Structures are given as structure tokens and as C-alpha cells.
Structure 1
């Protein structure tokens, strides 16, 4: 019976499966200061990060080269590139920073999607409608926001400002 409930929780929570174990860096403030790294440098860092993780398979709750989920990839990217600690789940990440419109996206912003009745997905915006994420079917990859699937699933964008 316990196994059934555990499986049910994992299925319903999607990318936001792991419990939160790290605190935010006061990212819930309403300030929307620019990131400490210029956009072009940040995109270069994100692309280097991507090359290290490209193709890593999706694993629910994973945070290693053996498997990673979408919110775990975001935690690792922000930690490694900006020395920011983010919460572990997509649900918690969706509360960070300030909500911004899709047309105002900048490199490093979070893009969030509703992919199912109760599942959410998160990625990191690069530029030119591209975002980095951990796909359940293809692992770590870059996709386009203007792709028909992602257009239909788009939910919100968040800008996280370091304090």
C-alpha cells in the first residue's frame, strides 16, 4: 500500500518531485535587478553548462549526470553559474522573484509550463525563444518557446534577482 501511495505522489508531482532542502537567497522580493552577469556572458555560461549536461537522461528527483529532472537542472545551473541557492521543486521555483511577461524575457529567466493536470515543468530562458530544460523523453536539451507543444503548455515566466 505504501508503494502505491509513493508511486501516486511521484506521478502527480512531475518535475517537482523532490522535497525542498535549500533556502532561497531572498529571491521572493519584488525587486527585479539585473543578474550580476551581463546577458551575453550569462548565455555563454548557460551554453557551456548545457554542453556538460546535454543528453543527460531525465530521472525524477535526479540531480546528477546519471539523471536529472527539470527543477534539479535549474537548481544546479543557478548554483554553479550564479552561486544562488534555489528551492528544489518546480512548485517552489514558480513562486520566486517577480512574474514577467513572455515578451520581456531575458537570459536566465525561468520559464514554467503546465504539462498536465497537476504537473509543472521549468526551464531557463536563453534568447531568441530558446530555453534549456530536462525533457522527460529526451533528457537535457534546448527547445523553442514557439514550438506548438510549448506554446500550448506555457504558464508563466519569473525573473530571479540576486540580493
Structure 2
């Protein structure tokens, strides 16, 4: 009797396993969001980032610069503001900033988001969105950190992408 019961249990187990293996629907390829390694910015942090960036308008541009004393290039400005406001050091280059955080639609922009520009396949400039269609950036040698409109003639032609750290 035990042998019969044992065989019945084995047969039931084999049927269950066989059923599990053949009735599973085929897997779908679903895009997976990147794993966030830092917590999302609060509304207060995003506001503080924008205010801090606005306070640096007028600081001289310097290639490779990343402090108010030495001057800023575009990615140095972003790094300085984020390190000081949220303690999160962003990547150093514009190409790396182009993959930092999450892509967002331009209609979803809020203060503290990044604006990354590039007319080709490689991004070449970045700034910090501060609201009302404006962003703060360190544009070029001989210039200073300034506030510009995204829809100005020059920047509207620069193929902007938007990132939320």
C-alpha cells in the first residue's frame, strides 16, 4: 500500500512539474527602468539647486573649472551645485551627464533638472533648468555663468534632452 501511495505522490509531483514547465506564457521583452542609486530629489532640494545655480550667475567661465573661485565650465557648474545642495556628485563630463538620472519629456521639466544639448549624436553642453523656460549654464571661454531661455534662437536649435537626477 505504501508503495502505491508513494508512486501516486511521485506521479502527481511529476505531472505538476510538467504542467509548470509547459503552461508558462512566453516571456515578454519589457523595458526595465535603470536602478536608482540615489533617492529622487525632493521638491525642496530641486528648488535649492535652482536658487544656488542662479546665485552663481556672473561667475567667470574656465575650461575644467569647478569652483566659484576658479570659475566653471558647464559640467563643473552642475557638479558644484549638486555636491553642495544634495551631496550627490554627478558625473564630470557632459557625455556622462547625458546618461545620469532619468530621461524626461520637456513638458515635465521642473527646477533642478538637467538640460543637455547636442546637435549631433554626442552631447556638447549642459545646464540646470531653473523654471519658466530658463536654465543656468557656463557657456564658453571669455564668458560668465548666465541665465538663458531654452526657446532663444540659439538654444532652440541645439537638440536639447532633459534628465532628472
TM-score where L is the length of structure 1: 0.69
Distance (Å, rounded) in 2 between the aligned partners of 1:61 and 1:115: 22
Runs of 4+ residues over 4 Å off in structure 1: 30-34, 115-119
Alignment match, 1:19: none
- Is residue 2:99 matched to residue 1:104? no
Residue 81 of structure 1: CA displacement?
0.8
Alignment match, 2:59: 56
Residues 49 and 112 in structure 2, CA contact (< 8 A), matched pair in contact too: no
Residues 74 and 123 in structure 1, CA contact (< 8 A), matched pair in contact too: yes
Residue 155 of structure 1: CA displacement?
2.6
Residues 109 and 158 in structure 1, CA contact (< 8 A), matched pair in contact too: yes
Does the residue aligned with 2:76 lie in a helix, a strand or coil? helix
Instruction: Give the alignment of 1:4-153 within 5 angstroms.
Output: 29=35, 34-38=40-44, 42-51=46-55, 53-64=56-67, 65-114=69-118, 120-136=124-140, 137-153=142-158
Residue 30 of structure 1: CA displacement?
5.9
Structure 1 unmatched ranges of 5 or more: 1-27
Residues 115 and 121 in structure 1, CA contact (< 8 A), matched pair in contact too: no
Structure 2 unmatched ranges of 5 or more: 1-33
Alignment match, 1:10: none
Distance (Å, rounded) in 2 between the aligned partners of 1:143 and 1:69: 16
Report which of the two structures shows the higher radius of gyration computed on alpha carbons.
2
Does the residue aligned with 2:131 lie in a helix, a strand or coil? coil
TM-score where L is the length of structure 2: 0.68
Distance (Å, rounded) in 1 between the aligned partners of 2:104 and 2:127: 15
Q: 1:151 to 1:72 in 2, by over 3 A?
A: same
Higher relative contact order (CA 8 A, sep 6+): 1
Residue 69 of structure 1: CA displacement?
0.2
